[in-house]
Amino acid sequence: MAIIQRPGWFYYEKNGERLGEVSYLKEGHGPILTLNHTYVDPSLRGQSIARELVDAVCDLARSEGKKVKPDCRYAAVLFKRFKDEYADVALEPGDNANSCPIN
C-alpha cells in the first residue's frame, strides 16, 4: 500500500476503503502543522502504519520548513518515545493530546 496525500490528510486505501489515516491542520502560511488525528484499522495495527503516516506529516513539515504540534495522543507519545528522531520538527503536545483516543 502506498501513502496517498490530500490537503490536510495522508492515508492508506485499499479497494476504495480507507484503512489508515492521519490528519493535520495547516493554518494559512504559518510555521506549524497541527497533527490532530491518527487512525489505523485494527487489521493493520502493529505494522508501523500509524508511524509511517505521522512520518509523512513530519516529512512535509521538513520540506516546508515547519514544525509539527502533536494534538493527537499517538503522535505525542511517538514524539516523546523517539525524541531524537523528531527533534527537528516536534513541538510540545497541544492541550488536546490527552483527550485524543489512540486508535
**Where are the chain's structural domains?**
3-98
State the pTM of this model: 0.88
Q: Which helix (H) or strand (E) holds 5?
A: strand 3-6
Q: What is the pLDDT of residue 80?
A: 94
Give the architecture (CATH level 2) of 3-98.
3-Layer(aba) Sandwich (3.40)
Terminal-to-terminal C-alpha distance of the chain = 19
How sure is the predictor about 28, in pLDDT bands with cuts at 50, 70 and 90? confident
Type of residue numbered 76: A
Q: What is the pLDDT of residue 96?
A: 62
More confident residue, 11 or 92: 11
pLDDT above 90 as % of the chain: 75
**Is the per-residue pLDDT at 22 higher than 90?**
yes
Beta partners for residue 20, in sequence order: 12, 40
Cβ burial of 7 (10 Å; 0-12, 13-18, 19+) is: exposed
**Is the per-residue pLDDT at 61 higher than 80?**
yes
Q: Are 69 and 34 in contact (CB under 8 A)?
A: yes
